Amino acid sequence: MRMLVVDAFTDRPFAGNPAGVCLLDQAAQRTSEAGSDWMQRVAAEMKHSETAFVRPIDAPDAEFELRWFTPVVEVALCGHATLASAHALYETGVAPADQPIRFRTLRSGVLTVTRVEDGGLLMDFPACPPAETEAPDDLGEALGTTPFWTGRNSQNDLLVLVADEEAVRKLAPDIAALGRMDARGIIVTATADPGQGYDFVSRFFGARVLLGDGEDPVTGSAHCALGPYWGAELGRDRLVGFQASERGGQVGVTLRGDRVELRGRAVTVLDGEFKA
């Protein structure tokens, strides 16, 4: 089976967020070797924050089925691996360049990705706005900085507002402590410094589902919460976010009612055959 590694939310290799993309055919998906357990083992082998599995389907509402796995669990929604999957389908010629791609997912409905004129990709995702909630008692200590506002959304992510961009960039949290909190992940955010080409900054820590330091380099699904939050704060429906991880990546966000359009670019860094 063909396997690609794609750096998402970037226009250059070795930046953004890498995702594995496994292109299945319909016959392979019907075999036991391409079931959920096999996909989880492949994701554990790849060790990316997410590995996506794509197969063609014959359905009126979608052309492909899409599933995402971290090295530990299957997840309900993943932005960067969706972007990577669409990029892989367009680049390999599996999907026509002039037509949108519709992905059927298990828990996030049908997601549509469209290729735009500048070579970027536009993804239509559900909005997941956070509602204000009481911060866990040890959140500030675990992050090493003061939370000014905390919200929780339907993805069970905690969104944490901190003082400024410098506070976001300098975070060195206690990942084990964050992993003990009731949350899929912790999104830490602040307004951008003046004069930047983006409106807000963020970082995402998913200690329960990611290996190593628990940080996801660029998280599309987090922007389903960040977009509505900063749209309300800044009074705008078009924004640009920068995820200030070591690799870094930029995500364009447009608010459309209960949907969020996420925009980004992607680069293939590996294209090969998976033998197992």
Active site (catalytic) residues: 50
- Picking from 48, 67, 55, the residue whose alpha carbon sits closest to that of residue 5 is 48
Handedness of CA 55, 8, 48, 205 (dihedral sign): negative
| Contact indicator for 121, 113 with CB cutoff of 8 Å | yes
- Picking from 122, 143, 152, 154, the residue whose alpha carbon sits closest to that of residue 220 is 122
Largest CA distance in the chain: 54
Query: Residue 226 is inside which H or E element, if any?
Result: helix 223-234
| Secondary structure in 3-state letters for 136-155 | CCCHHHHHCCCCCEEEECCC
What are the backbone dihedrals phi and psi of residue 175, each rounded to the nearest 5 degrees, phi first?
-65, -40
